[in-house]
Structure 1
Amino acid sequence: MGAVPIVAASRPTVVGIAGPPGSGKTTLARAITAAARDAVAVPMDGFHLSNRQLARQGLADVKGSPPTFDRAGLIAALRRLGSGDPVYFPDFDHALHEPVAAAIRVDPETPLVVVEGNYLLLDRSGWRDVSGLLDLRVFLEVPWPMCRERLIARHIQAGKSPAEAEAWVDRSDHANYELIRAARVTPDVLIRQDIQGSRVSLNA
């Protein structure tokens, strides 16, 4: 994937992995943190609004879309990196379908933080502030049929019936897929995947 840029020792290097749902962001983030000593993976899913808050705002049916995330909270947490204090990030419990506050700790001496999420490179007002806090921007481009198959399997594993899973994927996930691909900040690294394998482009 190329060398990760070195930033000031006073804060971690922050790599952002973006891409549509089902593109393999979590898998790549885990691989990087497993290979890099003392790296920490942070899922953007931890910044989901709670189900109670989604219901209050009438957003439950579009969970996973940009308005259903605490964008300001994500930006604030990323800005605290380098403050000299531990920074706590939320995680996401896929069994409960809820965020878990302060579940991930990033210590001041942590050298590398790998953030992964759908909208890290979203080219929309407010979201550009997120991409501006990333030292290396990676985007995964995967054909919809591959993402769709993975997503249906994921939703079934989480408890939906096959029919419910297909309906949710084709309505909600597909809309998010199209938005993420159409409106993205130019990444530093573009990884294209299809049935023939993966191809990496630098300075995409």
Structure 2
Amino acid sequence: MEGDGSVREAPLRVLVDELVTHVLVGLPADRRTVVGLCGPPGAGKSRATALLVYALRCAGVSTGQVPMDGYHLSNRQLDTFGARDRKGAPDTFDVAGFRDMLSRVRQCRDETIYAPDFSRPLDEPIAAVHAVPADARVIVTEGNYLMFETGGWEHIRPLLDLVIYIDAPRRTLTRRLVRRHRHHGRDEDGAREWVRTVDLPNAEAVQRTRSRADLVWRPVP
């Protein structure tokens, strides 16, 4: 299903608890459920994912993670076609690899599957960070472009049973992203320039996909 555009505002932990109840009620016994957390950079997807995985495990549900950011192209590959200065744009990911991994975790339930993640300190993807156990019933993925309809991304949304869009005001995104880039080594001017020229244009493109989500969250303090 696709959402009606209404926004659910509540503390993030409350939203996660409500989602766990929603997932448990509809959890099929004969196949895996894949939940996607989508939103612009800086919206809080990683924190929401960590809370959701923890809450599901506390509820006794075996869970795995397959983050989209594990499919960033390496800096070496980005350098080959001059795209390192816009790293994080839709065409700087191995979208086919991400699609194939989601298909694999949906279908294969007789082995442990290992999925990559992205290291911000290294600024590179790292293989086999996450282990999806054979008995996993819910797979959680998160990323900016889960609901894009071009560039190969159009194959991702059909692989997701439920997508939650995490909304945040532009000023909140800007503040968080500048702080993130400063933390990982950019100076103040460099951080603000990257946010202005790379992150916020990507955020605007992601926000245009919001209507394709099943649920829209706006976490509040």
Given the two structures, how large is their TM-score scaled by the length of structure 2?
0.83
Match of 1:55 in 2: 79
Match of 1:98 in 2: 124
Q: What's the secondary structure of 2:136's corresponding residue?
A: coil
For 1:80, give the aligned amino acid. Answer: R
What is the alpha-carbon distance in structure 1 between the residues aligned to residue 130 and residue 193 of structure 2?
A: 33
Match of 1:176 in 2: 202
Match of 2:173 in 1: 147
- For the 8 Å contact 1:122–1:185, the answer to whether it is kept is no
Decide which moves more: 115-124 or 156-165.
115-124
For 1:175, give the aligned amino acid. Answer: P
Higher relative contact order (CA 8 A, sep 6+): 2
Match of 2:9 in 1: none
What is the alpha-carbon distance in structure 1 between the residues aligned to residue 100 and residue 69 of structure 2?
A: 15
Aligned-pair identity (%): 39
- Cα RMSD between the aligned structures? 1.6
CA displacement at 1:125 relative to structure 2: 4.8
Query: Quick one: which of 34, 38, 50 aligns to 1:18?
Result: 38
What is the alpha-carbon distance in structure 2 between the residues aligned to residue 66 and residue 99 of structure 1?
A: 16
- For the 8 Å contact 2:83–2:92, the answer to whether it is kept is yes
Match of 2:98 in 1: 74
Aligned length: 194
Structure 1: which 5+ residue stretches go unaligned? 199-204
Query: Quick one: which of 84, 107, 123 aligns to 2:133?
Result: 107
Determine which structure has the larger helix proportion and give its number. Answer: 2
Going from structure 1 to structure 2, the CA distance change for 1:125 and 1:184 (only over 3 Å counts) comes to farther
What is the alpha-carbon distance in structure 2 between the residues aligned to residue 185 and residue 44 of structure 1?
A: 20
Deviation string, structure 1 residues 9-53 (Cα, Å, up to 9, x no partner): 34x311000000000100100000111113233321110000000
What is the alpha-carbon distance in structure 1 between the residues aligned to residue 125 and residue 131 of structure 2?
A: 15
Q: What's the secondary structure of 1:15's corresponding residue?
A: strand
- For the 8 Å contact 1:122–1:184, the answer to whether it is kept is no
Match of 2:10 in 1: none
- For the 8 Å contact 2:91–2:151, the answer to whether it is kept is no
Query: Quick one: which of 2, 22, 28 aligns to 1:7?
Result: 28
- Runs of 4+ in structure 1 off by over 4 angstroms are none
For 1:7, give the aligned amino acid. Answer: P
Determine which structure has the larger strand proportion and give its number. Answer: 1
